[in-house]
Amino acid sequence: MTVTAPPHRLGFLGELLDDPTVEEIIVIGGHRTFVVRNGIKELVPIVADTSTLRRFADQLLAGTGRRVDLSSPIVSAQLADGSRVHITGPPVTHPDRLNIQIRKFVVTATGLDELVERGTLTPPSAALLHDAMCSDLSVLVAGAPGAGKTTLVNCLLREVPPDRRVVTCEEVFEIDADLPDMTQMQTRDAGLDGGAEISLRDLVREALRQRPDRIVVGEVRGPEALDMLMALNAGCSGIATLHANSARDALEKVVSYSVLAGQNVAIPFVRRTVASVIDLVVFIRRTGRNRIVEEIAFVPEQLSEEVFTLQPIFEMGPSGLHWTGSTPDDPRLDPTGWRP
């Protein structure tokens, strides 16, 4: 007698989730389905109608405290296995379209040493980042979506001295570091039950009340940038990620996001604050299945109020990531550990 396995409660979506070769699933309701394997997107011959996807969406969000409906047409949540799901539906999308995107949880690196083994970092650049964490420098990690920013942040946090108090602020829990004194917070959408919205700005401001040594902002992409700068200017160090195309672009985007906080935010003030509280910028890029740090730059005393001055310490060349020969003029950094 042949025993047939029962169908997965999530149908084809569950089968893709169980497929270890699939990194990301993109379902455009009633239209197309894509998967990403080894960093390459491919079309799969599966189409699901909106009613089926809505049932899948309800099952995916069960237990997360979030739901997708007309009042909340855009929802992000973390699944039990650590995967991140992003769902958009009407009225944001077409009336007959519900879109589901799942970035699957993959085993991340456990430390900077493992990133060196993978080729993401070189031993000298990893030593610099270790020194930066032990010396309480503030680090901005920039790159495209899926470049490996969160993985790098998790590895950086593992280098933080155990006596430091760390407070993290995220839209969805993604930071994963076993620190003895770490408080994690995530945002909350306004609910039909009367629950008030808790924004990333709220979390960053709340973090300051918890006497942190280091604040971590999971992804800066709006006016919370100004709150982060004010928190770092209050004396604690920080780590933040954002989407950018280079180290210099990352600093410029922090300025642009900060201006969104209000009409009275002066750009010269923001630029001076960025330069005074951000110490290092790390730019990471994804190339196929590989994630590689292409630039680590120090933010020195600025020469102009209009263009950021950066001091590249490590940069990508024909032979890979290499030391530029430049050493930051910062007593908190000891170059003997990473300078060739």
User: Is there a single domain that holds both residue 134 and residue 55?
Assistant: no
Name the DSSP class of 301: S
Tokens of 23: 């990194």
User: Is there a single domain that holds both residue 30 and residue 171?
Assistant: no
Q: CA-to-CA distance for 92 and 74, rounded, in angstroms?
A: 8
Residues 85-142: tens digit of each pLDDT:
899 988 888 888 899 999 886 656 778 999 999 999 999 999 999 999 999 999 999 9
Asked if residue 201 belongs to a domain, the reply is yes
Tokens of 156: 């950086």
Asked if residue 134 belongs to a domain, the reply is yes
Asked if residue 15 belongs to a domain, the reply is yes
Domain termination site, one of 103, 127, 148 = 103
Cα-based distances in Å from 308 to 267, 279, 284, 321: 13, 13, 19, 22
Domain termination site, one of 103, 124, 150 = 103
CA-angle at 53, arms to 52 and 57, nearest 5°: 125
| Buried b / exposed e along 29-49 (16+ C-beta atoms within 10 A) | bbeebebbeeeeeeeeeeebe
Q: Is the per-residue pLDDT at 336 higher than 90?
A: no
Tokens of 291: 């994630």
The C-alpha R_g of the chain, in whole angstroms, comes to: 21
User: Residue 87 sits in a domain of what CATH number?
Assistant: 3.30.450.380
Task: Please tell me the predicted confidence (pLDDT) of residue 255.
Answer: 95
User: Is there a single domain that holds both residue 18 and residue 162?
Assistant: no
Residue type, 141: V
User: Is there a single domain that holds both residue 217 and residue 304?
Assistant: yes
CA 286 to chain centre: 14
Phi-psi region of 146 (alpha: psi -120 to 50; beta: other; left: phi over 0): left
Q: CA-to-CA distance for 84 and 173, rounded, in angstroms?
A: 9
Asked if residue 205 belongs to a domain, the reply is yes
User: Is there a single domain that holds both residue 50 and residue 121?
Assistant: no
Residues 299-314: tens digit of each pLDDT:
998 877 788 999 999 9
User: Is there a single domain that holds both residue 194 and residue 321?
Assistant: yes
The total domain count for the chain is 2
User: Is there a single domain that holds both residue 236 and residue 262?
Assistant: yes
Task: Considering only residues 264 and 220, tell me which one the structure prediction assigns the higher pLDDT.
Answer: 220
Domain that holds residue 170: 112-337
Asked if residue 2 belongs to a domain, the reply is no
